[in-house]
């Protein structure tokens, strides 16, 4: 299997960090990024701080962060083969209480962060005539839950599905694949230790683990004929729900 250079945003924690570990353990090079230097440095050290890893501290809604990740990848490893857009935030607030500043925070980090980091990476992938972008979306964008007031976060993630279809179409001719993985509820620091209480939203009646997502990200990165796909790794949340658990 070809050794790849994998750029991963939101890699100081949770899914992004698990994805970095998964690729490193299988021999790939990674460039990890997040906005909080101390957290990113800790992840960098935990991931082995070896020759196969580099880090870039930066706010993801600023295009300079994506540009810097590409620059570091080229200087250290010579290519940009995979981009995993995992940086993101989740909070809830009833729809009628959402103001413009609150909505903008989700659009800036979750949507614009993915949009412009992808722009930085695809500019290089076009030169290579090869590459794959894997967004971390959400299975909840087409499955409303009465008790979960996350309209602002939800629209920022829903737009990523549209972006996925479009970019797959615009860059298929350049041999660049663009896919989104739509997780269910995954055990990460995002849930402050409360994730298990949501097990019943999945047909499998358990929450997902970071490794469940990392394994699919790796598979999509190494596959050659999947593009424009929204791939649910959600324990069946998107398919239906049980009345009795």
Ligand X SMILES: NC(=O)c1ccc[n+]([C@@H]2O[C@H](COP(=O)([O-])OP(=O)(O)OC[C@H]3O[C@@H](n4cnc5c(N)ncnc54)[C@H](OP(=O)(O)O)[C@@H]3O)[C@@H](O)[C@H]2O)c1
Can you tell me whether residue 186 is helix, strand or coil? strand
Site mask for ligand X (CB under 6 A), range 129-158, x = bound? -------x-x--------------------
- Dihedrals φ, ψ of 232, to 5°? -80, 125
CB of 158 to ligand X, least distance (A): 12
d(CA 3, CA 202) in angstroms, rounded, equals 35
Q: Applying CB under 6 A, does 183 fall inside the site for ligand X? A: yes
Separation between Cα atoms, residue 3 and residue 79, nearest integer Å: 11
- Binding status of residue 15 toward ligand X by CB under 6 A: yes
Name the token pair of 202: 């999945």
> 194 CB contacts (<8 Å, ≥6 apart)?
none
Inter-helix orientation angle 113-128/63-77, to 10°: 30
Nearest C-alpha neighbor of 27 from the set 226, 210, 227, 221: 221
169's enclosing H/E stretch is: helix 151-171
Quick check: 238 binds ligand X (CB under 6 A)? no
3-state secondary structure of 217: helix
Cβ distance to ligand X smaller for residue 131 or 183: 183
Distance of alpha carbon 82 from alpha carbon 220, whole angstroms: 10
Interface region with ligand X, contact rule CB under 6 A, candidates 44-52, 74-82, 161-169, 180-188: 180-188
CB of 186 to ligand X, least distance (A): 4
Q: Does 235 participate in binding ligand X (rule CB under 6 A)?
A: no
Q: Which is nearer to ligand X, 89 or 126 (CB)?
A: 89
Stretch that binds ligand X, among 19-27, 55-63, 74-82, 124-132 (CB under 6 A): 55-63
Mask 185-224, x = binds ligand X (CB under 6 A)? xx-xxx----------------------------------
Cβ proximity to ligand X, 131 vs 137, nearer residue: 137
Binding residues vs ligand X (CB under 6 A): 10-16, 34-36, 39-40, 59-61, 86-90, 109, 136, 138, 183, 185-186, 188-190
């Amino acid at each position: 299997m070809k050794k790849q250079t994998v750029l991963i945003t939101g890699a100081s924690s949770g899914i992004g960090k698990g994805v970095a570990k998964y690729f490193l353990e299988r021999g790939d090079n990674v460039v990890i990024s997040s906005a909080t230097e101390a957290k990113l440095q800790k992840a960098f050290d935990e991931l082995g701080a070896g020759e196969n890893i580099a880090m870039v501290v930066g706010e993801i809604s600023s295009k300079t962060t994506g540009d810097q990740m590409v620059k570091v990848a080229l200087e250290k490893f010579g290519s940009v083969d995979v981009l995993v857009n995992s940086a993101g935030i989740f909070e809830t607030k009833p729809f009628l209480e959402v103001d413009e500043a609150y909505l903008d925070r989700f659009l800036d980090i979750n949507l614009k962060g993915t949009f412009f980091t992808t722009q930085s990476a695809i500019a290089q992938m076009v030169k290579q005539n090869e590459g794959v972008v894997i967004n971390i979306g959400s299975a909840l964008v087409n499955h409303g839950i009465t008790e979960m007031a996350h309209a602002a976060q939800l629209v920022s993630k829903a737009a990523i599905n549209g972006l996925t279809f479009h970019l797959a179409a615009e860059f298929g001719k350049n041999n660049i694949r663009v896919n989104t993985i739509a997780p269910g509820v995954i055990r990460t620091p995002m849930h402050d230790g409360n994730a298990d209480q949501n097990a019943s939203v999945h047909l499998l009646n358990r929450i997902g683990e970071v490794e469940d997502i990392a394994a699919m990200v790796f598979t999509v990165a190494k596959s050659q004929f999947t593009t424009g796909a929204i791939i649910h790794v959600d324990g069946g949340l998107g398919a239906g729900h049980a009345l009795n658990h």
